[in-house]
Amino acid sequence: MTMNLDDARSLMKQQQIESIDLKYADLVGNWYHITFPARRLDHVLRNGIPFDGSSIPGMKSVEAGDMVLLPDLSTAIIDPFSETPRLRMLSYICDAETRLGVNKDPRTVASRAHRYMTDSGVADSSLWVPEFEFYLFNEAVINNGKYSAGYRFTSDENKDDLPGGYLDADGTAVAHRKGYHIDIPFDKHAQVREEMVRLIEAAGCPIRYHHHEVGLSGQQEIETELLPFEVVTDKMMYVKDIIHNTALRHGLTATFMPKPMYDEPGNGMHFHIQLRKKGRNIFYDQNGYAGLSETALCFIGGILEHGRSLTAFTNPSTNSFKRLLPGFEAPVKLFFGVANRSAAIRIPKYATSEAAKRIEFRTADGTCNYYLAMSALLMAGLDGVRNGILPDEENGFGPHDDNVFDWPAERQAGLTPIPTTLEEALAALQDDHQYLLAGGVFGHELIDSWIEEKMKEVVAVRNRPHPFEMNLYYNL
């Protein structure tokens, strides 16, 4: 239910709400907050809360830093982690004078992307299912300094990765097998996931299911039901926050890092996408390939056509490209196919009805800013529809329903590769971003700031010695 001011006042009185926590996201996707007494809600709704935008990375320069946070009442929920009754809600980052969402506010970008889709006439709604993959570790000890560097993650589920002092006296830690759908008692954190799901659904985000994933050292998955784009982007921020805080409640630590451990399964963020118009799924055609309409195929074509630049938003970390390796059910080539888990876009074989027919983008990971990544995917797909970009043998986008890694090398060379580094992805974005500018959705200022901020991460990692370099070169 969307909350209005009367609803908020009634809830605050009923729950004896003492304060309101206002959340907002920076360019990269980090959450920030500011808290005010609940009695000031009317004033804040009218006037907003001023803040220094130049203190938020990538947002604004020092000489023009004044910005205003304007609350969005429709996002209000009871804070599940506050010791005193508190309401939390999301906000827009607005210009101090115009009170309009600034060009680099991620929530405003998502609003512009949704409006662009509806104005285009292609669809009046888009539905999404995000899959949250993450690890729950017992310990995460991280050290990075001038004279030492390293990390250690442990899990009481894995005999080869037990935390310090844990003796596995009941023998329920296992080894040398996959963790996919592993059952209790070996799925040691099933009850923690249950608590996460209860809190997520209480925040208004319905969950389809949850389970243990392939990684034996505590890898988990939680998947939502199909939700409208303009709702799911906000809900995803709450989901991620709930996962982190619930883990800490239970003495665990959660990470969405794409590849926290060498030679172990990585964490993806698969997006299932469907477009509708007047209630009808316009991706469905019972006579089309895999039940897909021409609109769906062109939407796929647009994503694959811009796939290399899209990774700058869907896989925006240096760690992202350590996950995108052959042999780990992670895509490395831009093509699509039915039930093909090595494809960048997979058509779920089980989704055969008109209501269920959708596509699954498998490249993304949880280091993305959900607002920007999903907006970029939507813009790329709409560009494909607008320009009639059909995937076919000529552009190599498929469909390919077999294992492309079994192909001869010369045939594999005909497929477009996903970038292998963040720097390569940012270069692709620099060369290919016109589709993001349509309708003023992204803008040059945002793209330039994104590349600038992300290149700082590239340089920070590139300039530091890697621990494995010690193995390779220390004694030379």
Q: Annotated active-site positions, please?
A: 52, 131, 133, 213, 221, 270, 341, 360, 362
Tell me which H or E stretch contains 346. strand 343-347
**Residue 150: its H or E element:** strand 149-154
Q: Is the separation of the CB atoms in 158 and 173 below 8 Å? A: yes
Q: Kindly list the distances between the CA atom of residue 349 and the CA atoms of 101, 159, 207, 291, 408, in Å, as whole numbers in the listed order.
A: 40, 36, 21, 10, 26
Amino acid sitting at position 58: G
Looking from the CA of 170 toward its CB, the CA atoms found within 13 Å total 6
CB neighbourhood size of 375 (10 A): 26
Residues 6 or more apart in contact with residue 259 via CB below 8 angstroms: 266, 267, 319, 320, 322, 323
Q: Measured between alpha carbons, how far is 425 from 311 in angstroms, rounded to an integer? A: 6
Among residues 342, 345, 341, the alpha carbon closest in space to that of 289 is found at 345
Q: Tokens 């621990």 — which residue?
A: 467
Give the Cα separation of 352 and 358 in Å (integer). Answer: 9
**In residues, how long is the chain?**
476
| 141: number of Cβ within 10 Å | 11
The identity of residue 70, as a single letter, is: L
Question: Following CA atoms 284, 286, 290, 296 in sequence, which dihedral angle do they give, to the nearest 10 degrees?
Answer: -30
CB 131 within 8 A of CB 223: yes
3-state secondary structure of 121: coil
Question: CA-to-CA distance for 71 and 44, rounded, in angstroms?
Answer: 8
User: Which residue, 162, 234, 168, 238, is CA-closest to 196?
Assistant: 238
Q: Helices then strands (H, E): number in the chain?
A: 14, 18
Task: Report whether 96 contacts 68 (CB < 8 A).
Answer: yes
> Rounded to 10 degrees, what is the CA torsion of 463, 469, 474, 476?
-100
399/401 Cα distance (integer angstroms): 6
C-alpha closest to that of 40 among 87, 105, 93, 94: 87
- Tokens 């692709």 — which residue? 428
